[in-house]
Amino acid sequence: MRDKVVFHVNGKRVEFEGNPMTRLIDILRDDLGLTGVKEGCGEGECGACSIIKDGKLVTSCIIPVGAADGSEILTIEGIKDTPKGICITEAFRDGGAVQCGFCIPGMVMAAYALLEENHHPTEEDIRMAISGNICRCTGYDLIVSSVQLAAERGGELWQ
C-alpha cells in the first residue's frame, strides 16, 4: 500500500507518492531543489541538514518522508527573506561567523529555533542550542557572539 504523504515546506503544499522511507533531505534537496539544506554526514551527527519541523529543530537526514506527513517544515530558503532570517544572516555576516559556510545554513536554523523560544539567550544557552551542529572551521566563538548579536539587534522581532 502506498499512501500519499502531504506536508508543507516553506508554506507550500507538497505531495509525495513514493517510498515513505525516502529520506526527507533527499526530497528537499533533489525534488524541491532546496540545496541550502546541506548533507554533512547523513547520520544525524553534524546538523548541517537542520530544518525546523513543527517548530522544532531536527536533522532532515534521519527523518523518513513518511514521518513528515501533516507537518510544517521550514528550511533556510523559507526564512532567509523574512525579517528574522535577515536579522540572523546579517548578524552572522557582520559578526564573522562564516568561514567555509557548509555548516552555516544549519547554524542559522539552530539560531532561529533558539531565538524563537528564548529572546535573551546567555552564552551558555547558545552553546547548548548549537551543540548538535558541528563546525570544523570557526571554533564556534564567533558563531556564538553572532547569535548574541542577532538577539540584541532583533530586539522586538523576537518577542
Binding to ligand FES (CB under 6 A) within 29-88 occurs at: 39-42, 44-49, 59, 61
Nearest distance, CB of residue 78 and ligand FES, angstroms: 18
25, amino acid identity: I
57 binds other proteins (CB under 8 A): no
> Count residues contacting other proteins (CB under 8 A)?
54
Amino acid at 143: I
Place of cell 515513505: 20
> Which of other proteins, ligand FES, none lies near 128, with the C-beta cut-off 5 to 8 A by kind?
other proteins
Looking up cell 522586538, which residue turns up? Answer: 156
91-94's contacts with Cβ under 8 Å and 24+ in sequence apart are: 91/146, 91/147, 91/149, 91/150, 91/153, 92/143, 92/146, 92/150, 94/146, 94/149
DSSP state of 58: E
Name the one range near other proteins by CB under 8 A: 4-12, 66-74, 114-122, 140-148.
140-148
As measured in angstroms, the least distance from the Cβ of 51 to ligand FES is 10
> In the complex, which residues of this chain contact ligand FES (CB under 6 A)?
39-42, 44-49, 59, 61, 99-104, 135-138
